[in-house]
């Protein structure tokens, strides 16, 4: 694996790409934005901060995992089923066998086990025992599951190949961590790590291969001094922030109308993915953040923590400290999520950098595992940047550390208007990495005001799935003004019609 080093002019540039969140056919606008950002910034490293894969995409319907540990394809989201029907994507004909509905009937048998086209056929009078048929069913389950997962692996490769194309063409090294949707395609982080390493320039190390590599998505990338001495001048840390809270499954295969009604009324306790809250970095990862600084100090020979920036997907609760609570009627305020529900917030301009944007609630875990405190205790860490919340792009300074976001750079998922979707650029100077400069490279700046499918982007910007979303939309002045205008026109039309009717009656 290659070494990273400051350039001869003492600079090092990093691009953060968050929430590409696409299926095997990555949208052209996403690739176009990535290509334009690379050409405009000439980065030395690209970091992918999770949810590269749209794990709930209908392309993965047969291997979808709502949670790790499930049997693939058994708990498919209702929205995925609906989207699959709209797009004409059908489930594998023998998926029912995989989900537990195994045939148990002496009049049928399974033919073609181990082939690409196993099928059920009548026994035509031949004697068949239930036990033998169940054995065949188990065999076909294994064969079909392996075949489906092989297909998903290739789809994941296709996705990676598409969005990594501009980086590979420009020969820019890249590193990836994981979010809460990547694994849902059915291929877990360790296998995705292997697939990433098939591409030249991948910086993801084998988990456990050194003290710098804890687990898939959690590792350190030292950046050496420009003089070739090998001294570590700073480090980029990637952290796997987990996916969902570790709670027991309810066993339901799909969501009912009643469940959705409960979600819409109280999204703090329900969500479209049956989530009981987001995950956090593992306790081992929290300890590693401290241990790795000691290891870097040992390698430098002085025992000192090196300047470091960390990247992960899900933000910790301290991100709310970059906000200021305001009354619910405040224009453009957003309502907090889950633990912070019932409170409305805007950016605290006293701690946030100019150009910061708050477009939605901070989707943090319900518990605080002390990650920010661990960063402060370890020393050296000056910033933590996340993705996850597609409409946010603020940078604030609280608890003696910078906490910031990159918004989505994808065009297949929800997010802000096209012109605000983008990629975050960092420029570090060897003499003082902590005094870094960062700015957004947006679609509006690099490409143009509109994407190739503004209708879809408009829907993704204004789509709401709960009552909190409705209230947040009504706090947007443009939305409320449009609704008031439409209401006024409607009332005027009704009044005109009523007046016409009254005049007609008067003439009679």
pLDDT digits (tens, 9 = 90+) for 449-460: 899 999 989 888
* pLDDT higher than 80, residue 419: yes
Confidence (pLDDT) at 470: 84
Distances in Å between the Cα of 489 and the Cα atoms of 51, 480, 485, 497, 503 are 43, 14, 6, 12, 21
Task: Please say if the pLDDT value at position 337 is more than 80.
Answer: yes
Contact 385, 297 (CB under 8 A): no
pLDDT over threshold 90, residue 299 = yes
Q: Which of the two residues, 251 and 84, has the higher pLDDT score?
A: 84
pLDDT tens column, 107-127: 555 565 545 555 556 665 555
Q: According to DSSP H, which parts of 2-90 are helical?
A: 28-41, 78-87
| Residue showing tokens 């749209």 | 54
Residues in the chain: 508
Separation between Cα atoms, residue 316 and residue 369, nearest integer Å: 8
Q: What is the pTM of this model?
A: 0.85
State yes or no: pLDDT of 235 exceeds 80: yes
Q: Which of 25-34, 129-138, 290-299, 381-390 has the lowest mean pLDDT?
A: 129-138
What pLDDT is recorded for position 115?
54
For residue 246, is pLDDT > 80?
no
Of 403 and 466, the structure prediction assigns the larger pLDDT to 403
Contact 408, 423 (CB under 8 A): no
In the predicted model, what is the mean pLDDT of residues 370-395? 97
pLDDT at 317 over 80: yes
Weakest-pLDDT range from 66-80, 269-283, 368-382, 419-433: 269-283
| Range name among 203-212, 385-394, 477-486 with the lowest pLDDT average | 477-486
pLDDT: is 378 or 101 the higher one?
378
Q: Work out the mean pLDDT of the chain and round it to a whole number.
A: 86
Q: What is the pLDDT of residue 313?
A: 98
Helices (H), 42-129: 78-87, 95-98
Q: How confident is the model at residue 36 (pLDDT cuts 50, 70, 90)?
A: very high
**Per-residue pLDDT at 352 exceeds 90:** yes
């Amino acid at each position: 694996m290659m070494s990273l080093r400051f350039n001869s002019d003492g600079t090092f540039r990093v691009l953060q790409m968050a929430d590409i969140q696409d299926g095997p056919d990555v949208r052209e606008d996403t690739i176009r934005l990535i290509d334009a950002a690379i050409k405009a910034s000439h980065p030395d490293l690209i970091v992918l901060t999770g949810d590269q894969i749209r794990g709930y995409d209908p392309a993965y319907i047969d291997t979808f995992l709502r949670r790790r540990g499930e049997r693939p394809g058994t708990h498919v989201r209702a929205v995925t089923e609906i989207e699959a029907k709209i797009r004409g994507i059908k489930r594998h004909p023998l998926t029912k066998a995989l989900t537990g509905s195994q045939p148990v009937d002496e009049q049928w048998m399974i033919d073609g086990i181990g082939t690409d086209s196993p099928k059920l056929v009548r026994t035509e009078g031949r004697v068949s025992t239930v036990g033998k048929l169940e054995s065949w069913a188990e065999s076909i389950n294994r064969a079909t599951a392996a075949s489906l997962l092989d297909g998903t692996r290739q789809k994941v490769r296709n996705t990676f190949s598409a969005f990594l194309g501009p980086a590979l063409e420009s020969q820019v090294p890249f590193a990836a961590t994981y979010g809460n949707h990547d694994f849902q395609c059915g291929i877990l982080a360790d296998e995705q790590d292997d697939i990433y390493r098939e591409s030249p320039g991948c910086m993801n190390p084998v988990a456990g291969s050194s003290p710098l590599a804890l687990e898939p998505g959690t590792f350190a990338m030292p950046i050496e001094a420009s003089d070739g001495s090998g001294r570590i001048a700073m480090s980029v840390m990637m952290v796997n922030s987990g996916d969902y809270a570790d709670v027991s499954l309810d066993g339901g295969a799909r969501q009912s109308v009643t469940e959705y009604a409960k979600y819409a009324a109280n999204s703090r306790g329900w969500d479209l993915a049956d989530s009981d809250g987001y995950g956090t970095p593992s306790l081992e990862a929290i300890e590693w953040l401290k241990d790795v600084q000691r290891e870097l100090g040992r390698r430098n020979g002085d025992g000192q923590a090196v300047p470091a920036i960390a990247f992960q997907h899900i933000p910790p609760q301290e991100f709310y400290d970059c906000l200021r609570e305001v009354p619910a009627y405040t224009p453009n305020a957003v309502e907090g999520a889950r633990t912070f529900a019932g409170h409305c917030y805007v950016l605290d301009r006293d701690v946030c950098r100019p150009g910061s944007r708050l477009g939605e609630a901070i989707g943090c875990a319900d518990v605080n595992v002390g990650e920010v405190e661990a960063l402060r205790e370890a020393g050296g860490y000056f910033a933590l940047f996340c993705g996850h919340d597609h409409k946010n792009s603020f940078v604030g300074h609280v608890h003696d550390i910078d906490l910031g976001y990159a918004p989505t750079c994808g065009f297949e998922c929800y997010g802000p208007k096209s012109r605000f979707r983008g990629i975050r650029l960092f420029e570090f100077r060897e003499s003082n990495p902590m005094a870094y400069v960062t700015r957004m490279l947006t679609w509006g700046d690099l490409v143009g005001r509109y994407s190739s499918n503004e209708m879809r982007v408009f829907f993704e910007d204004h789509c709401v799935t709960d009552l909190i979303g409705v209230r947040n939309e009504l706090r947007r002045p443009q939305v409320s003004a449009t609704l008031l205008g439409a209401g006024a026109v409607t009332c005027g039309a009704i009044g005109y019609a009523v007046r016409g009717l009254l005049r007609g009656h008067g003439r009679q």
